[in-house]
A and B are shown apart, each in its own frame.
Chain A
């Protein structure tokens, strides 16, 4: 199998609900953003890639290995980092003890190299000075960073992050983005997010999902390019637009079919996303 991630005709059903509807993807090293509304299937897709969940049907190849085989699944997990959306921690652990526990589960057998690796990843996420602090006393943002630290153990080839910037303040988000850019140089990084500015800042590629299907898959610049001539600004909101929002300048930014004489603006990822979401199915394809 070529490529880091190959999904072919993957279907996931939960009873009568179709969470993923024949999804096919091929991802290579680099950073891919996974965008979509709640319930679009992003988390389900990440769980399948994390080998936590087996799809109802279809093929999943990760890092050249078949996720259906138990032996190969363990080999995948040795090269995988995963931060789930609902990140839970066992009680009574310090930040260091938690990451060390995860390192044990990731088969870091030698205590000396294991502890050095734990110190390395804690420093990467800026938690080295808080390593002796109890996890229960860390803020929400710090816990997200701690979750990220365990995912970075052993420099994984495939890193899956589900809503990683939730709860991070602007400074932490900036630091997170810098870290993602560094990690994404060598690894395949998939980031599921609602934050279109995260996608604009770090991703080379974007996959947009809706109701279990992929509605866009391509480079971020192509995605943004589709919104060209569909974004304009005005002094007052135009209710005929698909979407509008107030900007810091006090003017209104619109997405949709512009009126005659509109003052066009450079589209961004959010514009393209709103246009895709607001446009009748297929019109953007």
Chain B
């Protein structure tokens, strides 16, 4: 199990997804910091919008066909595809966590960063659940779009702070648990190659 975990992590870290993801993350963080020089409100809004998308973007990138070239071999192995998907999600969440906490700390305090991280975990969980219905790259895009739409709704209502409130974080945790439940129930769908389903 430990060996599988190590090798799985090695694939994620060495896979071509890591470099583009790091570039994307650096651009988002630099953008937020620059906007913060002009307007603290817009910087927080940009961070709330884009921060939770960073881990799911890494997960989606790691399933882009050119990066995920050995996919058919992995599916044909007895190793659980669900386990590998969860492992990749965990790696990107773990990589994004210090970045989100640091940026949140710079903007409004570390608690703000932790709340954005909780939302990021919920977005990842929804993306994982959707991957039982469609390709992981597409499911990552759909989950991202859903998050952006939600932020847009809060922005239009003029109460963006509510999306990082304690209630919203509790809702995010519930959503994550429900999504993971769906993922486990529907894990059979991951057992074959989605491209030929």
Contact = CB atoms under 8 A, between A and B. Distances in A.
Interface string A107-149: 1010100100000000000000000000000000000000000
Contact of B11 (A90, A107, A111): A90
Interface string B1-12: 101100110110
A90 B7 contact: no
Interface in B159-197: 188, 191-193, 196-197
B72 interface: yes
A188 interface: no
Contact of A54 (B68, B74, B79, B192): B192
A53 B192 contact: yes
A78 B3 contact: no
Contact of A105 (B4, B10, B191): B4
Contacts of A264: none
Contact of B73 (A70, A75, A102): A102
Interface stretch (A22-30, A81-89, A277-285): A81-89
Nearest to A88: B69
B191 to A, nearest CB: 6
A47 B74 CA distance: 13
Interface in B1-52: 1, 3-4, 7-8, 10-11, 14-16
Interface residues of B, number: 29
A52 B69 contact: no
Contacts of A89: 69-70
A12 to B, nearest CB: 8
Contact of B78 (A74, A87, A100): A74
Given A54-B192, A91-B14, A93-B14, A104 B197 contact: no
Contacts of A150: 73
A52 B192 contact: yes
Nearest to B196: A53
A55 to B, nearest CB: 10
Contacts of A102: 73, 77
A52 B3 contact: no
Interface string A60-99: 0000000000100111011010101011111111000100
B153 interface: no
A50 interface: yes
Nearest to A48: B196
Interface of B: 1, 3-4, 7-8, 10-11, 14-16, 67-79, 188, 191-193, 196-197
Interface of A: 14, 44, 47, 50-54, 70, 73-75, 77-78, 80, 82, 84, 86-93, 97, 100-102, 104-107, 109, 111, 114, 150
* 4 smallest beta-carbon distances between A and B, as pairs: A88-B69, A92-B14, A105-B77, A105-B79
